[in-house]
Amino acid sequence: MNRVARVGWAAVVLGLSACSVGKGVGAASGKIFELACNKNGDYSVDGVAGTESAPVPYDLHPSYFAGEPVDDLRNYSSGTENTIMLNRLTMRLQRSGKQIELNDVLTFDVTSSYEVARCVRGRVDKDTGANDWDEANCYRASDNGPGRMRVQYDSTVHAALTLKATCSANLVASAVSTIPVPLSYSTTTGTPTAPADWASWVEFQEFGSAAQYDRVPSERDWVDHHFRVDFGERIYATSFLLTLVDDAIVNAAIYDRPRPDAYIGGTLGGDPTTGRFDFDLERGQGAQLFP
């Protein structure tokens, strides 16, 4: 089905699918701080305001789960059958089903569904024994366990937290796998070499049709270059850990500028009780930001 046909079909099925949109389960709790959160001052719990050195407890209490797939336009061009497509998938964990401008929202942005699918599938070349995944951004602890993706602005998966329901300040906290510093401040890039050093990650057990745990790794199929998560398919992240840094600091590091003051940050997750999500990708009002 081409893009135009899919868009037209979306209007037809909108009412049929709306009843299941937003359903899912998950957790996203930890400790954060946000300065000048609202007219009452900094974000606080039981009268104690959080600071960069001493964040205070926070729980998103996610009750609404949505995904927004955006296909690489080259999917619809001839002669690109073997070209790796950058099909994107943005997932949102929200406190409620209200619009994102009035919500606490945790966003996971997958810039290449193909790379996450390779990590989840865990294929090993039967001739060479080489792992068929990007080892700089993916780690697999076992044949049938989840694939752990590194989360950072220069990785395949990005994540960010905004607190528009809890706070009125227009601030964004981005997840980083290493605490960023301007390049001129350091002789290294700051990118960790070992998964044990990743300060932010997400583990996917199911990512659409990617998993093939009924086969040994050497017998698993190559991931299709046009891989995408289709509507009706499951997205299951067994666990995640996010180290959140003020987006202004992240941008300063990227562009080699002096580090500004931090107005938001903290950590979320770390185990399945504090960080996970499980939902089916559905089409309908509130799930997709664009038709």
Question: Per-residue pLDDT tens for 139-153?
Answer: 999 999 999 999 999
Return the pLDDT at 290.
Answer: 46
- Torsion sign (Cα): 23, 138, 107, 62: positive
Q: Which range has the worst mean pLDDT, 58-67, 78-87, 130-139, 208-217?
A: 78-87
For residue 291, tell me if it sits in a domain.
Answer: no
Number of domains in the chain: 1
CB atoms within 10 A of CB 288: 19
Q: Would the pLDDT of 186 be above 80? A: no
pLDDT attached to residue 80: 81
The reported pLDDT for the residue numbered 272 is: 97
How distant, in Å, are the alpha carbons of 25, 45, 98, 168, 265 from that of 32? 22, 10, 23, 16, 6
Relative to beta strand 173-175, strand 157-163 is antiparallel
Q: Is residue 268 within 8 Å of residue 59, measured between CB atoms?
A: no
Q: CA 180, CA 109: separation in Å to the nearest integer? A: 19
Instruction: Confirm whether 286 is domain-assigned.
Output: no
Segment 70-87 mean pLDDT: 86
- Residue 121 main-chain phi, psi, to 5 deg: -65, -40
pTM of the model: 0.88
- Residue 16 domain-assigned? yes
Whether residue 290 is contained in a domain is answered as no
C-alpha distances out from residue 202 to 74, 139, 267, Å: 28, 10, 13
Containing structural domain, residue 53:
3-280
Q: What pLDDT shows up at residue 11?
A: 36
Determine, yes or no, domain membership for 249: yes
Model confidence at 78, in pLDDT bands (50, 70, 90)? Answer: confident
Name which of 263, 269, 228, 227 is nearest 245 in CA terms: 263
Report CA Rg, the chain: 20
Give domain status of residue 285, yes or no.
no
The reply to whether 257 falls in a domain is: yes
Residue 16, pLDDT > 90, answer no
Q: By three-state DSSP, how is residue 249 classified?
A: helix
Nearby residues of 144 by Cβ (< 8 Å), 6 or more positions away: 122, 213
Q: Is residue 198 part of a domain?
A: yes
Identify the residue whose tokens are 């038709």: 291
Name the amino acid, one letter, at 178: T
Write down the H helix ranges in 107-199: 113-121
**4 pLDDT higher than 60:** no
Mean pLDDT, the chain, integer: 89
- The closest alpha carbon to 216, from 116, 117, 126, belongs to 126
